[in-house]
Amino acid sequence: MESCGLLKDLFVGRNILEVQRLEHLHVFYVREFPVDEWPEETEPWLIFEGVDCFADVYLNGAKLGSCDNMLIAHEFFVGNVLKARNELLVHIRPAVEEAKKAAYPLGLRAQGWTYESLHVRKAPHMYGWDIMPRAVSTGLWRPVRVDFRPVERLEACHLDTAILAPDHAHAELMLYYEARLQPGNEADYEIAVEGRCGASEFSGSQKMAFPAGRLRIKLSNPQLWWPRGSGDACLYEVEVRLLKNGIPIDMRRFRHGIRQVELVRTSVTDENGSGEFVFRVNGEKVFIKGTNWVPVDAFHWRDRQRLPQIVPMLEELHCNMIRCWGGNIYEDDFLFDWCDEHGIMVWQDFAMACALYPQDESFQTKLAREVRQVVRRLRQHACLVLWAGDNECDEAHFWLQAGDPNRNVLTRQVIPTVLKEEDPGRPYLPSSPYIDETAFRQGGTQFPPENHLWGPRGYFKDDFYTKAVCHFSSEIGYHGCPSVESLRRFLSPDKIWPPQNNDEWVLHSTNPRLDTSIFSPPDYRVNLMLNQVKALFGTVPETLEDFVFASQATQAEAKKFFIERFRSAKWRRTGILWWNLMDGWPQFSDAVVDYYFNRKLAYEFIRRSQQDVCVMLREPEGDSQQIVAVNDLRREASIRIAIRDVAADREVFSGEYDLSANCAEVVGSLPFDPNRQMLYRIAWNSEETIGLNHYLAGLPPFDLSHYRRWLNEAMPESPARSYRSSLSS
């Protein structure tokens, strides 16, 4: 799909505001298509993989039905109207007008600019978010096709790992199936399954006494699916066949990863860490390192073409999990297939965020239908380890003074009821963060074991971050300015610099529309970025080039600190999902890769901090700070460590150590002098890897030119060298 040129580039300057005048328009699609004679014993179905959003569908003048949900596929039987020559017409009504037809009682609450999203099953971010523009799109955003399905067929099948022995020596799989068979037929029907992964094979079959049932399969020495860094992500190629009188009449092919996942959590925790939030895969704890997955484009028809360039970054950054955020769509199968293959676990939110959604029977029915379809589409993926009911809707009960979030029938009854029927073995978290009855009685948002750490967003080593008690942070981030190259692509020439009193900086950092401010004042996040630079370096550079470097360095040091604070406290801390990898439109944000695929300095810092074997420093206690070696592998690792004070040009620590599997161990300490600033170069090597890291020691503010020189000396290949600067060397 290409632009017709009726609008200027919507991502440049103020152009995105132009789409708001189109929100009230009706859209019509008309297409003629031929159909040859379809195969015998089949029936035709018209499939819309994505309709955005309220639509009536007509084929050859006959109304097939209507659509009201962007987030799921819609299908229509067309055997009674399909011809050799066909005309398809789709009439899409404007979502903003449809939203006005609904009632908005006092119990429904949202941020002021997103009320109209509450009844509409559409990606929440499209109405405007602090990371996305307002772009209330419409159209056919995923493919449309005609399927010819066997009259007798498999309607659904799912292979699950029912039992995995503690020693992993054997496993039992369960195949659940549902078939459509001709009524009154006296034929013999059989279900059969076989799978192969290298030399490991399994198979099983049974006569069908009824169109639905289950088949148990046993196998010895299974090849297991492990998350990245914990082992190989083994996948079995599986074929399920439906046979009639011994002859195959339908077939499904898919991949299956043999693994078991458990989420161990408590309602609350405290300063002493007397709580838990940890994932166990195949019976073993896994420390989570990863990122929040947010929209990869503001216009989702472009998602599929961007995904292949984005997903390899997850492996390069040593991530083992992504959290698919609830303000988004449900991603393309490409993402889940890739995560299956590369051992990247997926935490999947259902598409609700930061609001109190309708509780009436009609909305419950609509949501249940959506959840059922999404679960059936995604449940076969080994990478999928957690369903979450929403993003921050429990917390929204506190922001919006709405009382106990446990009264939310959607996440406490509707979703778990569907999951119990369709995917009972996978962990479920009603909200993120989840405030259950016990947590609510003890103060709500104060002590959840899993939390989103945003807070005042001041200096990244402030008490808010250093004294946070949660075991697992599923959101935490810090702003970083895009590259000069990118700024010149999306800002008007006269708006690139300076940032003060600059409407384009405001539009591309916080406000989906300039007449409705998300934050107060509207330039809150512009000033936030400036103040974060000032907190670390004492002043805001006067030139664009220097500011970009200072901002990216501040973001990089912050995210590095967040990751290493959690990793160095393993298993008191159990995981961190930083916000976020990739921008979905050109903006000033927490992303470490901007919309144009230019990587910020934080990308390299994160890559180093998330190595499976990594050496880092804890924060000072008194006059010393501990050196910690982290090993996330499921095997021992022997390493040689050397730490150098770059400013003084001398080695301050060295040694050889044998690290236990899956551990964090204190291997030494360094003196701490609060009156001295320095940068340590931390290097290590083993038979398998060579590692490099750094640590900025001392108290801010730091001199930006000194910092830059130290960083270049510590890491000669550092991306910092690529930043042009007017600073003296």
- Rounded Cα distance between 642 and 2, Å, is 54
Question: What pLDDT score was predicted for residue 729?
Answer: 29
In degrees and rounded to multiples of 5, residue 155 shows phi and psi of -85, -35
Question: What pLDDT score was predicted for residue 650?
Answer: 96
User: Does residue 588 lie in a domain region?
Assistant: no
Q: Are residues 61 and 40 in the same domain?
A: yes
Boundary-marking domain end, from 95, 130, 148: 148
3-state secondary structure 586-627: CCCECCCECCCCCECHHHHHHHHHCCCEEEEECCCECCEEEE
Question: Cα dihedral sign for 531, 536, 538, 540?
Answer: negative
Query: Nearest to residue 341, comparing CAs of 255, 283, 279, 280?
Result: 255
Question: What pLDDT score was predicted for residue 446?
Answer: 75
CA angle 455, 459, 463 (to 5 degrees): 60
- Please compute the mean of the pLDDT values over residues 335-349 and round it to a whole number: 98
Query: Nearest to residue 142, comparing CAs of 70, 72, 57, 50?
Result: 50
Confidence check: pLDDT of 267 > 50: yes
The answer to whether the beta carbons of residues 645 and 680 sit under 8 Å apart is yes
Question: What pLDDT score was predicted for residue 333?
Answer: 97
The answer to whether the beta carbons of residues 475 and 579 sit under 8 Å apart is yes
Q: Are residues 165 and 140 in the same domain?
A: no
Confidence check: pLDDT of 486 > 80: yes
Question: Cα dihedral sign for 218, 222, 225, 226?
Answer: positive
In degrees and rounded to multiples of 5, residue 52 shows phi and psi of -115, 95
User: Does residue 429 lie in a domain region?
Assistant: no
CATH number at residue 663: 2.60.40.10
The answer to whether the beta carbons of residues 496 and 482 sit under 8 Å apart is no
- Please compute the mean of the pLDDT values over residues 471-480 and round it to a whole number: 98
CATH number at residue 56: 2.60.120.260
- Rounded Cα distance between 368 and 178, Å, is 20
- Rounded Cα distance between 382 and 515, Å, is 45
Confidence check: pLDDT of 407 > 50: yes
User: Does residue 328 lie in a domain region?
Assistant: no
Residue 642: its H or E element = strand 637-645
Boundary-marking domain end, from 210, 232, 256: 256
Question: Would you say the pTM of this structure is higher than 0.75?
Answer: yes
User: Does residue 508 lie in a domain region?
Assistant: no
Q: Are residues 115 and 169 in the same domain?
A: no
User: Does residue 53 lie in a domain region?
Assistant: yes
Confidence check: pLDDT of 183 > 70: yes
- Please compute the mean of the pLDDT values over residues 548-564 and round it to a whole number: 98
CA max distance for the chain: 88
Joined together, the tokens standing for residue 635 give 């095997």
The answer to whether the beta carbons of residues 10 and 18 sit under 8 Å apart is yes
Q: Are residues 57 and 157 in the same domain?
A: no
- Please compute the mean of the pLDDT values over residues 568-590 and round it to a whole number: 97
At position 109, the amino acid (one-letter code) is R
Count up the domains in the chain and report the number.
Answer: 3
Q: Are residues 154 and 234 in the same domain?
A: yes
- Please compute the mean of the pLDDT values over residues 440-448 and round it to a whole number: 84
- Please compute the mean of the pLDDT values over residues 356-368 and round it to a whole number: 98
pLDDT digits (tens, 9 = 90+) for 41-64: 999 999 999 999 999 999 999 999
Confidence of residue 126 (pLDDT cuts 50, 70, 90): very high
Question: What pLDDT score was predicted for residue 689?
Answer: 83
The 10 Å Cβ neighbour count of residue 225 is 27
- Please compute the mean of the pLDDT values over residues 194-218 and round it to a whole number: 96
Question: What pLDDT score was predicted for residue 722?
Answer: 54
Averaged pLDDT of the chain: 94
The 10 Å Cβ neighbour count of residue 203 is 12
The answer to whether the beta carbons of residues 552 and 480 sit under 8 Å apart is yes
Q: Are residues 65 and 135 in the same domain?
A: yes
> 197 - beta bridge partners?
200
CA distances from 718 to 105, 501, 547, 605, 726 (A): 56, 34, 18, 9, 18
Q: Are residues 64 and 144 in the same domain?
A: yes
Query: Nearest to residue 177, comparing CAs of 128, 125, 266, 240?
Result: 240
Give the domain extent around 66.
20-148
User: For strand 200-207 and strand 189-197, is the pairing parallel, antiparallel, or unpaired?
Assistant: antiparallel
- Please compute the mean of the pLDDT values over residues 109-136 and round it to a whole number: 92
Percent of the chain whose pLDDT exceeds 90 = 90
Question: What pLDDT score was predicted for residue 516?
Answer: 66
Confidence check: pLDDT of 727 > 50: no
Confidence check: pLDDT of 726 > 80: no
Q: Are residues 104 and 217 in the same domain?
A: no
Q: Are residues 114 and 140 in the same domain?
A: yes
User: Does residue 68 lie in a domain region?
Assistant: yes
Q: Are residues 122 and 203 in the same domain?
A: no
Confidence of residue 112 (pLDDT cuts 50, 70, 90): confident
Q: Are residues 661 and 686 in the same domain?
A: yes
Joined together, the tokens standing for residue 574 give 């159990």
Percent of the chain whose pLDDT exceeds 70 = 97
Q: Are residues 209 and 189 in the same domain?
A: yes
User: Does residue 39 lie in a domain region?
Assistant: yes
- Please compute the mean of the pLDDT values over residues 84-105 and round it to a whole number: 96
User: Does residue 570 lie in a domain region?
Assistant: no
Confidence check: pLDDT of 728 > 50: no
Boundary-marking domain end, from 101, 119, 148: 148
Residue by residue, DSSP assigns 652-684 as EEEEEEEEPTTEEEEEEEEE--TT--EEEEEEE
- Please compute the mean of the pLDDT values over residues 279-305 and round it to a whole number: 97
> 576 - beta bridge partners?
289, 473
Strands (E) located in 40-106: 42-48, 51-52, 54-59, 62-67, 74-77, 85-93
Query: Nearest to residue 253, comparing CAs of 263, 261, 242?
Result: 242
Q: Running DSSP on this structure, what letter comes out for residue 223?
A: P
CB neighbour burial string for 20-43, b if at least 16 within 10 angstroms, e if fewer = beebeeebeeeeeeeeeeeeeeeb
- Please compute the mean of the pLDDT values over residues 151-178 and round it to a whole number: 97
The answer to whether the beta carbons of residues 57 and 92 sit under 8 Å apart is no
Helix (H, G, I), strand (E, B), or coil: what is residue 360? coil
